């Protein structure tokens, strides 16, 4: 996923206390990683949060600071 996350994730001190979020949402990368760690599938996450797409979840998984 060659740094594609950089096009999909932003850090802004005025949004969610500066936590990394998916651009255009207030959904934190840490939230997505938490859902994945509890066993939620990509499909379940997208069903619960339809503003997310598969590439957003992959970007969260690839995110590094």
Task: Encode pLDDT of 10-39 as tens digits.
Answer: 999 999 999 999 999 999 999 999 999 999
Question: Is the pTM above the cut of 0.95?
Answer: no
Is residue 8 within 8 Å of residue 61, measured between CB atoms? no
The answer for 30, left when phi > 0, alpha when psi is -120 to 50, beta otherwise, is: alpha
Which residue's entry shows tokens 């969260």? Answer: 60
Please, which pLDDT band fits residue 65 given cuts at 50, 70 and 90? low
């Amino acid at each position: 996923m060659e740094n594609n996350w950089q096009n999909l994730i932003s850090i802004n001190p005025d949004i969610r206390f500066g936590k990394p979020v998916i651009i255009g949402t207030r959904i934190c990368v840490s939230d997505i990683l938490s859902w994945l760690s509890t066993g939620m599938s990509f499909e379940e996450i997208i069903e619960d949060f339809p503003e997310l797409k598969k590439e957003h979840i992959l970007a969260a998984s690839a995110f590094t600071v």
